[in-house]
Amino acid sequence: MKFESLTRDGIGYEYDKGYEVYVRHNPIADENLYEFQTYNDGMVQHSNRYAVPAEHALDCLASWGKYLLDHPELINKDDVDYYKFSEMTNRKEVQFYMKMKYDPDKPRQFYNASTFKLSRAESKRHDKRWEEVPHWADGSLETVYGFICKSYFDFIARVRLMDEVREMVYSISGFCVAVDTEKYFQTDRDGFNNLRTAVNVIEKIHESIRALDRAARSLECLDNNWISRQNIQKAA
């Protein structure tokens, strides 16, 4: 799926479910998003494609969203990774890391990231399923984000995760916590909010595609279980 940039002259983008980014010298927007030179020759590709740098993630997302909304007839469920824009965390995980806090006055503590359990038993020290609670664990928004965010997450995934964690921290604690956007995303608050909005556009489009697909499968089941029988009975 190819689409042109909204703000960058001579640049086209491509979304490809295939995976080609093996070496990453700089942070990239997403492993499935690429850009190439068009030299303002329509959407003719005049260069090799390469991964969209993180700094151009906003333009790429906005351009992609506009293209999809302007051309709904071109949206094909086979072009979409159904799980790419699903939820990245959940309330139980966020609550667990909010409650997990390092206490220097007590014996070392260990946590299991799969079962969301804590233990002070020394036997956990040599169990690879458990890790020691680090000294920086204080239950804050940044701590929760730090535990859940993986080193291999691309830029857009990190934006989505931070937004989800912030919303869940607010729903659990009732406190709205500001994000240090310069530290994590190298942009000011307005830039981060624009990124969140652009991500939300793509998420909603993907949700609608998944919803339509579920509706089609439900109708197929209904056809097999009831409609066909009714028609057979009528014919009889």
- The 10s digit of each residue's pLDDT in 128-177 is 999 999 999 999 999 999 999 999 899 999 999 999 999 999 999 999 89
DSSP secondary structure letter of residue 133: P
Task: Please say if the pLDDT value at position 212 is more than 70.
Answer: yes
Task: Please say if the pLDDT value at position 43 is more than 70.
Answer: yes
- The 10s digit of each residue's pLDDT in 92-126 is 999 999 999 999 999 999 999 999 999 999 999 99
DSSP secondary structure letter of residue 100: -
The count of other CB atoms within 10 Å of the CB of residue 127 is 12
The sign of the CA dihedral 205, 206, 207, 213 is positive
Amino acid at the residue 9:
D
Q: Average pLDDT for residues 64-86, to the nearest whole number? A: 76
Dihedral pair phi/psi, residue 75, rounded to 5°: -75, 115
Q: Break the chain into its structural domains and give their ranges.
A: 2-74, 82-101+137-236
Q: Average pLDDT for residues 34-54, to the nearest whole number? A: 95
Q: What is the pLDDT of residue 197?
A: 96
Question: Which helix (H) or strand (E) covers residue 197, if one does?
Answer: helix 189-222
CA distance 170 to 149: 18
CA distance 107 to 120: 7
Mean pLDDT of the chain: 90
CA distance 85 to 119: 34
Pairing relationship of beta strands 131-132 and 110-112 according to DSSP bridges: antiparallel
Q: Average pLDDT for residues 82-90, to the nearest whole number? A: 78
Q: What is the pLDDT of residue 87?
A: 85
Contact 93, 116 (CB under 8 A): yes
What pTM does this model have? 0.86
> If pLDDT is split at 50, 70 and 90, which confidence band does 82 have?
low
Q: Average pLDDT for residues 52-76, to the nearest whole number? A: 90
CA distance 198 to 95: 27
- The region of weakest confidence among 1-10, 100-109, 203-212 is 203-212
Pairing relationship of beta strands 131-132 and 2-4 according to DSSP bridges: unpaired
- The 10s digit of each residue's pLDDT in 18-40 is 766 555 557 899 989 999 999 99
Q: What is the pLDDT of residue 236?
A: 61
Q: What is the pLDDT of residue 59?
A: 98
Structure tokens at 229: 């029988």
